[in-house]
Amino acid sequence: MSLATMFKRNSLLDERSTWITSIVLIVGMLAVVVLHALPPEHAWHLNGSVVTLLGKYLTYMLLALAVDLIWGYLGILSLGHGAFFALGGYAMGLYLTAQQAPLAPWQTVMAHFPVAALAMVLAPGLLALVFGWLAFRSRVTGVYFSIITQALTFALMLAFNRNEMDMGGSTGLTRFDELLGFSLASESMSVALFVASGVAVLLAFWGCKAVTRSRLGRVCMATRDAEARVRFIGYRVEHVKLAVFVLSAMIAGIAGALYVPQVGIINPSTFAPLFSIEVVVWVALGGRATLYGALLGALVVNYLKTLLTGVMPDAWLFLLGGLFVVVTMFLPQGVAGVLARLRRRREVAA
């Protein structure tokens, strides 16, 4: 097989992976909804708490997608994406608490859903805009950028811990009752939030796919591999980075906003540097620069986490660390890379 046909196959594989991912997502979502609708005594019935757990996984998958967009395609390793996720979450949290008892007078404005919805996207977007503008303009790259993103999320964690912020201090925001006038405790709300998260993942996946397949996406990959060359052919690299970074932060914000009503709380621990690092592990494990790899990685790692923290809570961090080491050493392309290699081998054999 010549390399030319291999390249064509690769782009076909790419298209096929988009189809497969979309179909798996849609079928999976429908299956969950149908299984939930079965009568409770049925053996295959999924109860509301499982649906909510799956909904939470979906928001993590959305966050992983955001990280893969900038890490996989632009080569920017953000170790602070949890900050954007948390900001989106806090915007949702403020909306939910403002329904009954806002913690500060200014928060009453957050009781209007359109205002809150705007804040879920704009708060992380603006932070990414200012932070990214400063960092990319000064050409901060590589490990230095990663370190300052850690500092960013750590600083925000300290800030949100302060009671003077009127964000609930270390307890965060909790005791939510209603979303858009519907009780959060109801089973149908669990399903609605699950479906909303699934639709958000699907739309974000298609959106990211469109961006990465555009000429801009190729400029991103070119920047990842040879930044100076991109500058010398006339692209303003810092603008490209900033635009994609802001887009990624907004997706992370939406993920956070969908996460909060499903888990019922948002507190400063979401800003913890460790959480952001965990997200990177999901993407590394699933496979960078494929998008579906990020979705897969987030799902698998979080499912494992749920399983293991139930059985052996202390072992989880060791397993996570071990996974990261194994993936970095033996599977640099992650699970997605293994899948692609297997498929290629099968095609060569056929």
Partner 1 sequence: MSMTNVERLREFARPDRVFDFMAPADSPVDVRHGPILYLEDVSVSFDGFKAIDDLNLTIDDGELRCIIGPNGAGKTTMMDIITGKTRPDRGQAWFGSRHNLLQMDEPQIANLGIGRKFQKPTVFEALSVSANLELAMVGDRRVWKTLLARLDHEGRERIDEIMETIGLSAERDRLAGVLSHGQKQWLEIGMLLMQRPRLLLVDEPVAGMTEPEMHRTAELMTRLAGQQSVVVVEHDMGFVRSIARTVTVLDQGSVLAEGSMDEVANDPRVIEVYLGGDEASDVREET
Residues 246-305 that bind partner 1 (CB under 8 A): none
Helix axes 215-225, 237-263, angle to 10 degrees: 100
Of 73 and 95, nearer to partner 1 (C-beta) is: 73
Residues 51-110 that bind partner 1 (CB under 8 A): none
Of 8 and 341, nearer to partner 1 (C-beta) is: 8
Of 3 and 43, nearer to partner 1 (C-beta) is: 3
Which residues fall within 8 angstroms of residue 15, CB to CB, at 6 or more apart?
none
Kindly report the backbone phi and psi dihedral angles of residue 241, in degrees, each rounded to the nearest multiple of 5, phi listed first. Answer: -60, -45
Binding mask 2-41 for partner 1 (x = CB under 8 A): -xx--xx---------------------------------
Helix axes 81-98, 237-263, angle to 10 degrees: 40
* CA 277-278-282 angle, 5° bins: 120
Joined together, the tokens standing for residue 112 give 């209007």
Residue 66: CB minimum distance to partner 1, A:
17
**Closest by Cα among 80, 59, 319 to 193:** 59
Of 258 and 291, nearer to partner 1 (C-beta) is: 291
Q: What is the CA radius of gyration of the chain?
A: 21
Of 222 and 338, nearer to partner 1 (C-beta) is: 222
Residue 244: CB minimum distance to partner 1, A:
9
**Considering the rule CB under 8 A, would residue 216 count as an interface residue with partner 1?**
yes
Binding mask 184-213 for partner 1 (x = CB under 8 A): ---------------------------x--
- The full length of the chain comes to 350
Give me the amino acid identity at 89.
G
Of 125 and 256, nearer to partner 1 (C-beta) is: 125
**Considering the rule CB under 8 A, would residue 348 count as an interface residue with partner 1?**
no
What's the N-to-C CA distance of the chain in angstroms?
11
Residue 288: CB minimum distance to partner 1, A:
12
Helix axes 113-137, 237-263, angle to 10 degrees: 140
Residue 212: CB minimum distance to partner 1, A:
11
Residue 237: CB minimum distance to partner 1, A:
8
Q: What is the per-residue DSSP string for 161-214?
A: HSGGGSS-TTT-B----EETTEETTSHHHHHHHHHHHHHHHHHHHHHHHHHHHS
Residues 218-247 that bind partner 1 (CB under 8 A): 218-219, 221-222, 224-226, 228-237, 239-240, 243
- Report the distance separating Cα 306 and Cα 312, nearest Å: 10
Of 16 and 137, nearer to partner 1 (C-beta) is: 137
**Total of chain residues touching partner 1, rule CB under 8 A:** 28
Of 73 and 90, nearer to partner 1 (C-beta) is: 73
**Considering the rule CB under 8 A, would residue 139 count as an interface residue with partner 1?**
no
Helix axes 81-98, 113-137, angle to 10 degrees: 160
Residues that bind partner 1 (CB under 8 A): 3-4, 7-8, 211, 214-216, 218-219, 221-222, 224-226, 228-237, 239-240, 243
